[in-house]
């Protein structure tokens, strides 16, 4: 029997800016995790990771991160991924301070 | 201070132009991330949680004012107006854009700086006593040898693909301020019959498997230093474990083979390679030494200084904590605290950097140092200039009188920035500092080293803190373990784990309880936390940290 699959999102850092982005269902990278594609099966997860190899000109370091579906869209489970949606706690820098751009 | 010669300048500029090409090939898609990653790491560029991070080497922690001004300029032009000084005497920029990094490196090259070998499995920035060249207790300035090693190790063809990174620290003083026993190689200058040489310590390190270094030779003549260090690294480069990242550092090699066998292998290798060192290294060293000649110290009246001390209690408090004895009459070493209560340990704004550069120019013979404790040092200040200097520091928010006290905390960037971290360390440091400031007891507590790491790799040196804090991920929640009794000096020791970890909410109250408990336990106000710990052992401190368990056992 296949192992149960925890839902995922694909996340990475933008190649030039280095900021965090998430892969949307239409294949764009969004600065907002709520717009990420919520992946619920291992097969899709694998396919999306293969797809990211064609995105090397846009992003670096893509990986799958555990997520749950919230009211506005996918949300991170682990605190590390939660920090990545906001920025550091010592300054109002990063996502928490910047206008979220929808697509790249 | 060392000034780049034509060779250094050409070399660093060539490296910048190579990296510029590599970055443009990455951006245009001709290089994949897998191909590019080792190239960017060789030039100090990491990809972190929220952005890239550029780690710039401050060689042996020494800067002049023009270099500090340049660091401020980079912070304003390419980053968010600040930089983070690290426990390896480097500076890190947390927000550069990939496309800007070649320009940043080019600007650094203009002032004789670079980011080469600040990452990767190479010999990293050689660190030194931050009071080098100024301390009253010093045999000689260790920085010329550190510069020689910088030149020798930079792009050394044998040492570009080693089992793992390699860190060297050097001190010219018997009072070890460079944590030499926790480095892959630690060098301590010693005198034998009036001739200076080195005690060589090998196989120290923190991280997952903390170890205190072992003495491989107790006296090495100066002329043999480079070939001997090369022999050590060469033996490890061959023997070191490339099969397991966690066993690859030299501390494991020395541990697995034993120091006696390791010493025999090094001695044999040394005999092989010594003849190839024709003495050119010593000629180069002699030239470097001339560049590190002490400044011309002035002679002036210090009565004004004493008078201000009497009438200004804030100034007096600052002089009590932030000054150290200088080797020249009338001079002191000034430590500028980059640990204002509630601020991020080691973070300086560009304005603060410019203020410090200007003070170095005006009152400090143009010299600055970065300490592994993440503070900035003005190594040569005459007492007659201190009150003027203090006034400027105060205006810039740089006059915190807490050097060596509870709020002078080492903290790594932790999970606020670092991709390797398992928990945050900065907020814990901020909260502890604020709490002790509220209680107004840190001067009463006295000498105390609190060191915080956000993961097992121990960049925050928690193992050698009197109180060490290690942030971990326990089942998806931040959790903080406390170690007690660590020591980073010549009597180096690894702290002992106190017991189960504390949650993010519990850790600051636990530290407060521990420190207040120590104040009750100490035999007199002069007995430091570490001395009390040595006298009493770990048990009473555990009882303070875990009162519930004590109650349950009763």
Give yes or no for a contact between A73 and A38, defined as CB atoms under 8 angstroms apart: yes
| Domain B6-110: assigned CATH number | 3.30.70
**pLDDT score of A103:** 43
Considering CB atoms only, which of A17, A57, A77 is closest to B97?
A17
Contact B51 A90 (CB under 8 A): no
Write the CA distances from B63 to B67, B112, B293, integer angstroms.
6, 10, 15
B463's tokens: 């193992």
- CB-based contact, A104 to chain B, within 8 Å: no
A90 and chain B in contact, CB less than 8 A: yes
Q: How far is B448 from chain A (nearest CA, A)?
A: 24
Residue B34 DSSP label: H
Mean pLDDT for the stretch of residues A47-54: 94
CA B114 centroid distance within chain = 17
Instruction: Report the topology of domain B142-291.
Output: Sulfite Reductase Hemoprotein; domain 1 (3.30.413)
pLDDT band at B387, cuts 50/70/90?
very high
A contact test, residue of B25, B49, B429 with most A CBs within 10 A: B49
Show Cβ contacts of residue B123 under 8 Å, excluding neighbours closer than 6 positions: B117, B149, B153, B156, B159, B166, B167, B168, B233
Closest residue in A to B478 (Cα–Cα): A79
Whether B313-395 and B410-553 share one fold: the answer is no
- Please state the ipTM of this predicted complex: 0.94
Q: Do A93 and B80 count as a contact with CB atoms less than 8 A apart?
A: yes
- Amino acid A104: pLDDT: 44
Q: Do A15 and B430 touch (CB under 8 A)?
A: no
Residue A63: exposure state from Cβ atoms within 10 A (0-12, 13-18, ≥19): exposed
**Average pLDDT of A1-12?**
87
Q: pLDDT value at position B550? A: 60
pLDDT at B345 over 70: yes
Does the CB of A94 have a partner CB in chain B at under 8 Å? yes
CATH 1.10.10.10 fits B410-553, yes or no: no
Where residue B548 falls among pLDDT bands split at 50, 70, 90? Answer: confident
Query: A91 by DSSP, 3-state: which?
Result: coil
Distance from CA of B106 to the nearest CA of A (A): 18
- Please say whether the beta carbons of B469 and B506 come within 8 A: no
3-state secondary structure of B36: helix
CATH of domain B313-395: 3.30.70.3340
How high does pLDDT run on average in chain B?
97
B390 CB-near residues (< 8 Å, 6+ apart): B315, B318, B399
**How confident is the model over B214-243, as pLDDT tens digits?**
999 999 999 999 999 999 999 999 999 999
- Which residue of B48, B50, B81 is the best one to mutate when testing the A interface, meaning the one whose CB has the most A CBs within 10 A? B50
Task: Report whether pLDDT(B439) > 80.
Answer: yes
Ordered by start, the domain boundaries in chain B are 6-110, 142-291, 313-395, 410-553
The Cα of A19 is separated from the nearest Cα of chain B by a number of Å equal to: 5
Pairing of the two strands B195-202 and B214-221: antiparallel
Tell me whether residues A13 and B51 touch, CB distance under 8 A: yes
pLDDT of residue A2: 58
Alpha-carbon gap: B80 to the closest alpha carbon of chain A (Å): 8
Reply yes or no on whether the pLDDT at A3 is more than 90.
no
Q: Taking residues A30-44, report their average pLDDT.
A: 97
pLDDT in tens, B143-179: 999 999 999 999 999 999 999 999 999 999 999 999 9
């Amino acid at each position: 029997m296949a192992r149960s699959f925890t839902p995922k999102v694909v996340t990475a850092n933008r190649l030039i800016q280095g900021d965090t982005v998430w892969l949307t269902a239409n294949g764009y990278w969004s600065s907002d995790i709520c717009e990420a594609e919520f992946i619920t099966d291992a097969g899709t997860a694998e396919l999306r990771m293969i797809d990211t190899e064609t995105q090397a000109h846009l992003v670096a370091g893509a990986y799958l991160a555990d997520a749950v579906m919230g009211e506005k869209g996918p949300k991170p489970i682990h605190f590390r991924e939660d920090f990545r949606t906001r920025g550091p706690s010592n300054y109002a820098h990063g996502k928490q301070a910047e206008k979220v751009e929808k697509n790249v | 201070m060392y000034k780049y010669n034509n060779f250094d300048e050409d070399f660093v500029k060539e490296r910048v132009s190579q990296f510029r090409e590599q970055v443009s090939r990455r951006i245009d898609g001709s290089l994949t991330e897998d191909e590019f990653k080792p190239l960017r790491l060789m030039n100090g560029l990491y990809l972190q949680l929220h952005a890239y991070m550029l780690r710039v080497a401050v060689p042996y922690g020494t800067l002049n004012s023009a270099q500090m001004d340049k660091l401020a300029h980079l912070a304003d032009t390419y980053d968010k107006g600040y930089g983070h000084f690290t426990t390896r005497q480097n500076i890190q920029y947390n927000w550069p854009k990939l496309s800007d990094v070649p320009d940043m490196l080019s600007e650094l090259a203009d002032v004789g700086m670079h980011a080469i070998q600040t990452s990767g499995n190479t010999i990293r920035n050689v660190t030194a006593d931050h009071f080098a060249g100024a301390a009253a207790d010093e045999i000689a300035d260790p920085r010329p040898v550190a510069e020689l090693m910088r030149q020798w190790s930079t792009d050394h063809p044998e040492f570009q693909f080693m089992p793992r990174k390699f860190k060297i620290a050097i001190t010219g003083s018997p009072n070890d301020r460079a944590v030499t026993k926790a480095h892959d190689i630690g060098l301590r200058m010693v005198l034998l019959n009036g001739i200076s040489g080195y005690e060589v310590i090998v196989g120290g390190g923190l991280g997952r498997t903390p170890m205190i270094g072992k003495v491989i030779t107790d006296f090495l003549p100066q002329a043999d230093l480079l070939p001997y260090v090369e022999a050590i690294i060469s033996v490890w480069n061959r023997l070191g474990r490339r099969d397991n990242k966690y066993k690859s550092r030299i501390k494991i090699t020395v541990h697995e083979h034993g120091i006696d066998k390791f010493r025999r292998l090094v001695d044999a290798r040394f005999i092989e390679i010594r003849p190839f060192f024709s003495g050119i290294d010593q000629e180069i060293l002699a030239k470097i030494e001339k560049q590190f000649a002490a400044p011309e110290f002035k002679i002036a009246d210090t009565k004004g200084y004493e008078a201000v001390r009497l009438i200004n209690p804030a100034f007096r408090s600052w002089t009590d904590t932030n000054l150290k004895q200088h080797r020249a009459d009338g001079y002191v070493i000034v430590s500028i605290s980059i640990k204002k209560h509630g601020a991020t340990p080691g973070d300086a704004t560009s304005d603060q950097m410019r203020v410090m550069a200007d003070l170095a120019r005006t009152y400090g013979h143009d010299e600055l140092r970065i300490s592994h404790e993440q503070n900035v040092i003005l190594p040569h200040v005459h007492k007659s200039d201190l009150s003027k200097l203090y006034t400027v520091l105060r205006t810039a928010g740089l006059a915190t009188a807490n050097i060596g006290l509870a709020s002078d905390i080492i903290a790594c960037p932790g999970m606020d920035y670092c991709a390797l971290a398992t928990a945050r360390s900065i907020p814990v440091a901020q909260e502890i500092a604020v709490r002790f400031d509220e209680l107004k007891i840190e001067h009463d507590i006295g000498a105390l080293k609190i060191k915080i790491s956000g993961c097992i790799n121990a960049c925050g040196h928690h193992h050698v803190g009197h109180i060490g804090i290690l942030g971990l991920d326990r089942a998806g929640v931040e959790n903080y373990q406390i170690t007690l009794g660590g020591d980073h000096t010549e009597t180096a020791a690894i702290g002992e784990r106190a017991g189960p970890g504390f949650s993010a909410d519990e850790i600051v109250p636990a530290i407060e309880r521990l420190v207040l408990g120590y104040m009750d336990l100490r035999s007199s106000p002069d007995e430091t936390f570490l001395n009390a710990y040595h006298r009493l052992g770990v048990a009473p401190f555990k009882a303070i940290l875990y009162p519930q368990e004590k109650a349950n056992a009763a």
